[in-house]
Amino acid sequence: MTDSVPAAPLDRPDRTNPDLRVDGARLWASLTDMARIGATARGGSCRLALSDEDRQGRDLFVGWCRAAGCSVTVDGLGNIFARRPGRENHRPPVLIGSHLDTQPTGGRFDGVFGVLAGLEVIRTLNDLDLTTDRPLEVAVWTNEEGARFAPSMLGSGVFAGVHEADWALARTDADGVSVAEALRQTGYAGDAPVGGRPLHAVFEAHIEQGPILEAEGLVIGAVTGAQAQRWYDVTLTGVESHAGTTPMERRRDALLGAARLIDLAERTARAHGPDGRITVGVVAVHPGTRNVVPGRVFLTLDVRHPDDAEIDAIERALRDGLKGICAGIGLKGAMTPLSADAAVTFDPALVDSVRRAAAGAGYRARDMVSGAGHDACHLATFAPTAMIFVPCVDGLSHNEAEDARPEWLEAGATVLLRAVLDAARL
């Protein structure tokens, strides 16, 4: 820890004061309470976007925010905003946000930590009877994960102007339920406009979802940006035929084509250096019976790289490879882009504020680039934005075994508190 310094006046807290910290036990208790909603048998969480479990999590959060004296509004995409007034309440707010939805077999900290760390900032300021110059808002963004509705980061994307609201509301899940229908079913079809208002600064705290911080014995990552990310839907169409009577050389096997494409994806990612990432997360085979040569396969491609030029080259390699695979087997192939997010650079001044806030609390911040997409990536196109990472055990995330130590989460929320106070000054 740093040496002690005199405490600042309560109306002007000094972010370098090492005694300025959140209540880590209260934060952990809130995380534990939220984790009970949608709890899985293996210790994780399942709160798919706009499911009943997501509704329950939202209701719990809204209740906590109102108890903390915040006003709550919900916009037309179901994004929730809990507002704590400032001295200059007409000024654009400092916004803290993340998400409460999870993967089907997700963990207890992905997203939810960033939301409840924001709430803990509000509660700590209430404890200290502090009023910031600018108002503060804690946001819950709709469908960040993209597990139920594609693409991911849907609510923040509409807020930031990346997606059109009507297009987002029309997105459907595997059962044909649209975002608009799910919002009505959960009671979170709000009437506030989506976006269109200025934000002074945006912060998102998050577990790293990778192994670097823990491996280096550090607890704070100052995130300088995020890598580019693109999603594609791929369909390969051949001919269904009898498994016993169709000679191998006469088959137009769509699954064989998919297997070759998956292998190509693996080789292409590795060919573009250690930062190349390609994932096939969904494969659907038609008709899906033992004794029929598959006539159609649908699969998804998640492509990532921190360099926009490299991700362009990866896409060309995949498209060219798909054409060759289809020609060799006699298939038809289509590779349709679903979303394309360029590499993101976060606001240098806010990133530096995170570094200073960490130093004031006695932590060394490591600069990092996020390998995952976050709501902050969309918001960075709209307002000055920064992220704070804390470790997760073994770098494991999107997994029921996802874990984080209470002291790591307290450290991240404390750095968040200090950075927010810095940004909320006039």
Q: In angstroms, what CA-CA distances link 152 with 229, 309, 334?
A: 11, 22, 21
pTM: 0.86
For residue 220, the cross-strand partners are: 365
Provide the pLDDT for residue 37. Answer: 98
Q: In terms of domains, do 197 and 278 share one?
A: no
Which residues sit in the known binding site for Zn(2+)? 99, 110, 145, 206, 398
Backbone phi and psi for residue 250, each to the nearest 5 degrees, phi listed first: -105, 5
Do 122 and 239 sit in the same domain of this protein? no
Which of 284, 316, 341 terminates a domain? The answer is 341
pLDDT value at 7 more than 50: no
Which amino acid appears at position 74 of this protein?
V
Q: Considering 341, 365, 381, which residue would you say is the last residue of a domain?
A: 341
Q: Is residue 201 part of a domain?
A: yes
Residues 98-122: pLDDT tens digits? 999 999 999 999 999 999 999 999 9
* Judgement on whether residues 254 and 129 belong to the same structural domain of the protein: no
Alpha-carbon distance of 413 to 270, in angstroms, equals: 36
pLDDT for the residue numbered 16: 54
Annotated binding site: 99, 110, 145, 206, 398
* 50, 139: one domain: yes
User: Tokens at residue 11, please?
Assistant: 């109306």
- Do 163 and 255 share a domain, yes or no? no
Residues 47 and 193 in one domain: yes
Residues 74 and 125 in one domain: yes
Instruction: Express each pLDDT in 78-92 by its tens digit.
Output: 999 999 999 999 999
* Tokens representing residue 197 in the block: 């208002």
Q: What is the CATH number of the domain that holds 33?
A: 3.40.630.10
Q: Which domain holds residue 325?
A: 228-341
Per-residue model confidence as pLDDT tens digits over 268-322 = 999 999 999 999 999 999 999 999 999 999 999 999 999 999 999 999 999 999 9
Final residue of a domain: which of 341, 369, 390? 341
Domain count, the chain: 2
**pLDDT score, position 66:** 98
Place 198 in a pLDDT band, splitting at 50, 70 and 90: very high
